[in-house]
Amino acid sequence: MRELDAFDAVAHERRVIRTQKSSRVVYPVLLLAHEEGGATFDLVSCRNRRDARQAAEALAKVCKLAVVDRTDGEERRREHDQLDVSLREQRRRSGARHDPGEPPAGMRSTIAVHGDELEIAMPGFGWQPLLVVFMVLGTAPFWMTLLFASTVAGDAPAAFRGAMLAMGALPTLAVEAVMLHLVLRRHTLRASNRELRVQQHGLRRREVVMPADEIEELTLPDADRNRAMASLLGGGPPITVASDRELVAFGESLPRDEARYVADVLLGALSAG
């Protein structure tokens, strides 16, 4: 193993591990050497992006190293003295005025102000023709198995035919669940200089509450190689908000210019004061 002073950053990224029968996504944390394209050393592998970010930042604080986020294919670097700086403090230090500009034409999102709180409602992909086609094609394993069970295996024992139908139904249900998740998922955000509340509606409901003074990152990458489906459906990379304890992503159904405007408006609300 190389000496620690050969490295100047702790990185976390997304990897897909493929085998002959399956694939899985992992989020490794690794050390990066000084020179560009230099050596790396894997430290630990996490199950999700939030855990990988937390592990990378914890190690960087101990070793006084920078943190590099390579999760979405780009590199975002935060130096050691920037790791615990909130969005509000970052804005204060920069001294720059925050102006999101004019909203793009044809916005699908709605933005409303209630007192000192901003409410942003972002729709999902909805029943797009391409998603409907995917859902229909996703039922193919079940219908093929049903046809086989009722013809070729028509004289087989009922238990055997039932097992075959179950084998055809399971992948069908998995595909349909993913498609329905994309169709129905939408988000409602309530943001102020006190907190951010993100509510996910749809097939799976979830709510995340983050104190504004703990939020350190609000990012929207130029591209995300991990979101091919979103690009096909007219969306793009999600807006990601992260603190030391939470990480939440939303807005991948929005066109790029609208997502950028929503991110800028949200940044202004969270960093005000």
For the chain, what's the residue count? 273
Residue 198 buriedness (CB in 10 A; 0-12 / 13-18 / 19+) = buried
For 5-22, what is each residue's pLDDT tens digit?
Answer: 778 899 999 998 888 777
Average pLDDT of 205-214? Answer: 94
Average pLDDT of 238-262? Answer: 93
For 97-137, what is each residue's pLDDT tens digit?
Answer: 777 888 999 899 999 999 889 999 999 888 877 777 777 77
Residue 29 buriedness (CB in 10 A; 0-12 / 13-18 / 19+) = buried
Tell me the three state secondary structure of residue 210.
strand
Lowest mean pLDDT among 110-114, 159-163, 185-189: 159-163
Higher pLDDT residue, 73 or 88? 88
Lowest mean pLDDT among 93-102, 145-154, 169-178, 248-257: 145-154
Residue 11 pLDDT: 94
Residue 89 pLDDT: 92
Residues 6+ apart with CB under 8 A from 114: none
Lowest mean pLDDT among 16-20, 32-36, 225-229: 225-229
Cα radius of gyration rounded to whole Å, the chain = 23
Residue 29 pLDDT: 95
Percent pLDDT > 70 in the chain is 83
Higher pLDDT residue, 168 or 215? 215
Phi, psi of 149 (to 5 degrees): -65, -30
| Pair 254, 108: CB distance under 8 Å | yes
Q: For residue 164, give the H/E element and its range.
A: helix 158-184
255: alpha, beta or left? (left if phi > 0; alpha if psi -120 to 50): beta
Residue 156 pLDDT: 62
Higher pLDDT residue, 174 or 229? 174
CA–CA gap between residue 135 and residue 142 (Å, rounded): 12
